[in-house]
Amino acid sequence: AIRGHFFDITAVAEGAEAIAQRARNIEDGLLLLDEGRIVSLVPWEEGRAQLRHEQDYLDYRGKLIVPGFVDSHIHYPQTEMIGAYGEQLLTWLENYTFPVEGQYHSPDHAARMSAFFLNQLLANGTTTALVFGTVHPQSVDALFSAAQRLEMRLIAGKVMMDRNAPDYLTESVEQSYQQTRELIERWHNNGRLGYALTPRFAPTSSPQLLAAVQALREAYPDTWLHTHLSENLDEVAWVQALWPEHESYLGVYHHYQLTGKRSVFAHAIHLAEQEWECLRNTDSSVAFCPTSNLFLGSGLFRLQTCQQKRVRMGIGTDVGAGTTFSMLQTLGEAYKVAQLQSYRLCASEAFYHATLGGAHALDLDDKIGNFQPGKEADFVVLDPAVTPLQTLRFNNSRDIYEKLFVLMTLGDDRNIWRTWVNGKCVWQRDALEVAA
Ligand code: GUN
Ligand code: FE
């Protein structure tokens, strides 16, 4: 059992107002756990009777406990290239990304970087992520093995690409199909792990490759589909040139029946009306990646349109085009992207997108995303004020919404005090302090 200040959104909702109505703020609460599951979250006065001994709880008072963050789009093999200077998407891929991803043919490198990457997720309070590997199957073997040891709910996949990339990162359609199939058999629904079919994006896919992805999706209908969509204007023009017979970028994926529930399209910035309609009609999801979109100069994600069209949306860091693993910082940047379009992203809506909303976008909202009984016990213990400036500002905040908003604005990994996965504390800041 854990005693402390809890905040979550109790049910899936659409729109800021509906989300705010479902916000639950329990300043002195008791969370009961059993074997990695949540039994209940109730106010302390109500819960204390359920304790066998009055002292039978961890005392996290003074901290703020929220559901674990869900990062709905990230590339683990780009960890070592964050902050690559000077390019927009297509030349950034060529000059920086591909050479770095080439390193992941080595299982040792993949294992080292997997451990580093997962530690970064946990150090930032992220307990679930939808992750790109590289084209090498050994890259995802390494990541899944490491995630399994931590009992994380993680979805990942090997990149599939057969054109418009260096030879050392491309493969035949047959090889892509076979290797993906083997990985699905090994990892999909293995404990808390899930597999995502991961064609990089339309420009690096031949029609035959997308047909192979379609065949895999038909064979394994509960796998995820994870790719990029309409991130950059040159990219959109390139897709038009490569796929002239399709009327839009999303139309290419839709033609191969790669839209639908559990399909997650990263970015979705430059979309036509019909593409939004198609996302909605197929119940597809998009990942909004504000730090990446600003860093690569890609454009402004239309948060309000996404809501009006009632398209499922999660927040992604998109490391390494994204500039941070921190979902707190990412929410702060999402707020600014919305501001530039006169949309006001309030704290409860922002935290929803980073938790239950992200879980909904990944079709995992029956398992994670809040403190409802029966959910898996993935959560973050935030230290709401760790610097003099944060302390000053925190003490000058009226209510939980202002405190959460200040965390989005001034917060980062220093505010993550404990991270719990599947009912166990798997990361703690003091261990870091002792080591240092
Ligand atoms: N589009 C295709 N590949 C990538 C990638 O690695 N990162 C981003 N941000 N966009 C992409
Ligand atoms: Fe990406």
Reported as a single tens digit per residue, the pLDDT across 262-308 is 999 999 999 999 999 999 999 999 999 999 999 999 999 999 999 99
Ligand 1 atom at minimum distance from 289 CA:
9
The SS3 call for residue 83 is: coil
Residue 381: which domain range?
Answer: 2-68+370-435
CATH number at residue 46: 2.30.40.10
- For ligand 1, atom 8, which residue shows the shortest CA distance? 321
**Is residue 46 domain-shared with residue 15, that is, in the same domain?**
yes
CA of 206 to the centre of ligand 1 (A): 17
**Is residue 378 domain-shared with residue 400, that is, in the same domain?**
yes
- For ligand 1, atom 5, which residue shows the shortest CA distance? 93
**Is residue 100 domain-shared with residue 87, that is, in the same domain?**
yes
**Is residue 228 domain-shared with residue 306, that is, in the same domain?**
yes
CATH number at residue 305: 3.20.20.140
* pTM recorded for the entire structure: 0.98
Round to whole Å and give the CA distance between 321 and 324. Answer: 9
**Is residue 320 domain-shared with residue 380, that is, in the same domain?**
no
Ligand 1 atom at minimum distance from 298 CA:
9
Query: Is residue 93 within 6 Å of ligand 1 at its C-beta?
Result: yes
* Structure ipTM: 0.99
| C-alpha of 148 from chain center | 18
Best residue among 74, 76, 87, 89 to mutate for probing ligand 1's pocket (most ligand atoms within 8 Å of CB) is 89
- Given a contact cutoff of 8 angstroms between Cβ atoms, the answer to whether 354 and 347 are in contact is no
Q: At residue 434, does pLDDT exceed 80?
A: no
**Is residue 60 domain-shared with residue 74, that is, in the same domain?**
no
Round to whole Å and give the CA distance between 287 and 265. Answer: 6
- For ligand 1, atom 7, which residue shows the shortest CA distance? 321
Cα dist. 351→170, 300, 405 in Å?
38, 20, 9
Ligand 1 atom at minimum distance from 235 CA:
1
- Domain boundary (337, 361, 385) is at 361
User: pLDDT tens digits, residue range 12-60?
Assistant: 999 999 999 999 999 999 999 999 999 999 999 999 998 988 889 999 9
Query: Is residue 231 within 6 Å of ligand 1 at its C-beta?
Result: yes
Give the CA-trace dihedral at 219, 222, 224, 225, to 10 degrees. Answer: 40
Give the CA-trace dihedral at 96, 249, 228, 167, to 10 degrees. Answer: -40
- Domain boundary (361, 387, 413) is at 361
Please count the structural domains in the chain: 2
- Domain boundary (329, 361, 393) is at 361
Query: Is residue 73 within 6 Å of ligand 1 at its C-beta?
Result: no
**Is residue 208 domain-shared with residue 230, that is, in the same domain?**
yes
